[in-house]
Chain A
């Protein structure tokens, strides 16, 4: 697969895996409104993932469509950011994971609107409005939990500390990123860091939460090397398609 195809697949997989994680909340969220909210965010991300997967399949030229790519690849062939495969944990963990992701994705979509890949630019332009809405939701909850009770503050502060180490990968450039950026197709991840930091710092301040120090700790999910959690997620997500190949609604 070309760096172009791999770059698009990374975006697709990141959306798909997070959509699946958020779907796990259906019927379990702390209130009906949040059940609907998380499912709606999941649907938006899944819709974007389908467009990106179909595009990646076309770039690959092997005839694999969105279903083959979503349901018939092994763990090491998924290229999502490691952050999004982390378990839901409690509601605070989910809010923090979502907030960090939304702040990153909004910046990425803003930049990708200028991609020379017209399909990718169109998906980014469409996704930008949705990402803006998602960030308002997750940021709103981060402030409510952080600037809430002593209990909610302490717990969400732990969520921030636990998930922060996964942000390093969001801004680490590798060969695929550099090739895609040089071709005018992708955006160099490191260039997204300043806007991300500004958004995150502003919301963390309102949430009365401190920004953790950066650690040398890094992850490589976008290169196919994942945490222990992705395999279980894929086993559940892919089981129906693998048991009943070609099944349709």
Chain B
């Protein structure tokens, strides 16, 4: 009985498969901030093998209404299927995605790209000054706010904390 019940539960992929999956997902870019991969973004919640052999990918939406959410899901499935995985996606709402889940690598890439990573203070991604002012709570995508550097006077995007 216990063994039967266990067989119904998705299991973790073997380490070599997992490494391959990570390699594939590292190449899937966020459609709105293409410098970030879906792994950097922290939206991949789990990868498991279902009893029927299919690969299950748990995905979390970032901002509830972000149009990129559906594109991300489609891109992830396309990349995995192209690599030969019979993949299905499931939405994972709880616990909710947070900008805290951006990887260290992702934060570094954002800064290089000219977007201040989420944090207590929005530091200018160009000159590094912390003397900055918010010019708008919202920016060009749901995840960004508009800031201006009071030291070098350049405007920049700040990845909103949520």
Indicate the size class of the contact surface on chain B: 20 to 34
- Who on chain B is nearest to A40 by CB? B138
B90 contacts A by Cβ under 8 Å: no
- The residues of B that contact A123 with a CB separation of less than 8 Å are 93
A42 to B66, CA, bound (A): 11
Binding-face segment, A125-133, A169-177, A235-243: A125-133
Do A118 and B94 touch across chains, with their CB atoms under 8 A apart? yes
B58 contacts A by Cβ under 8 Å: no
A84 to B116, CA, bound (A): 35
Do B61 and A47 touch across chains, with their CB atoms under 8 A apart? yes
Residue from A44, A48, A118, A126 in contact with B142 in the complex, judged by beta carbons closer than 8 Å: A44
Interface string of A29-71 (1 = CB under 8 A from B): 0000100110111111111100100000000000000000000
From residue 126 to 165 of chain A, which have CB atoms closer than 8 A to chain B? Answer: 126-127, 129-130, 133, 136-137, 140
B10 contacts A by Cβ under 8 Å: no
Do B136 and A47 touch across chains, with their CB atoms under 8 A apart? no
Do A121 and B94 touch across chains, with their CB atoms under 8 A apart? yes
B146 contacts A by Cβ under 8 Å: yes
Do B63 and A44 touch across chains, with their CB atoms under 8 A apart? yes
Residue from B96, B98, B142 in contact with A40 in the complex, judged by beta carbons closer than 8 Å: B142
Q: What are the nearest 8 A-B pairs in CB distance?
A: A47-B64, A47-B65, A43-B65, A33-B136, A126-B96, A122-B94, A122-B93, A37-B138
Do A48 and B146 touch across chains, with their CB atoms under 8 A apart? no
A121 to B66, CA, bound (A): 20
13 residue pairs bridging A and B, Cβ less than 8 Å apart: A36-B139, A36-B140, A37-B136, A40-B138, A46-B64, A46-B65, A47-B66, A51-B64, A126-B97, A129-B96, A130-B64, A136-B137, A137-B138
- The residues of A that contact B64 with a CB separation of less than 8 Å are 43-48, 51, 126-127, 130
Q: Which of B96, B138, B140 is packed against the most chain A CB atoms within 10 Å?
A: B138
How many chain A residues touch B (CB < 8 A): the figure is 29
Given contacts A33-B135, A36-B136, A136-B137, contact A130 B63 (CB under 8 A): yes
A227 contacts B by Cβ under 8 Å: no
From residue 94 to 138 of chain A, which have CB atoms closer than 8 A to chain B? Answer: 118-119, 121-123, 125-127, 129-130, 133, 136-137
Task: Give min CB distance, A181 to chain B, whole Å.
Answer: 22
A137 to B137, CA, bound (A): 7
Residue from A41, A129, A140 in contact with B98 in the complex, judged by beta carbons closer than 8 Å: A129
Do A125 and B135 touch across chains, with their CB atoms under 8 A apart? no
Task: Give min CB distance, A12 to chain B, whole Å.
Answer: 12
A58 to B5, CA, bound (A): 27
Q: Which of B136, B139, B140 is packed against the most chain A CB atoms within 10 Å?
A: B136
Task: Give min CB distance, B129 to chain A, whole Å.
Answer: 22
Beyond the given pairs A44-B63, A44-B64, A121-B94, 11 more chain A to chain B contacts, judged by CB atoms under 8 angstroms and listed by A's residue number, are A33-B146, A36-B139, A42-B65, A44-B142, A47-B65, A48-B64, A51-B93, A125-B95, A130-B162, A137-B137, A140-B137
Q: Which of B67, B137, B139, B140 is packed against the most chain A CB atoms within 10 Å?
A: B137
Interface string of B123-154 (1 = CB under 8 A from A): 00000000000011111101000100000000
Task: Give min CB distance, B68 to chain A, whole Å.
Answer: 11
- The residues of B that contact A119 with a CB separation of less than 8 Å are 93
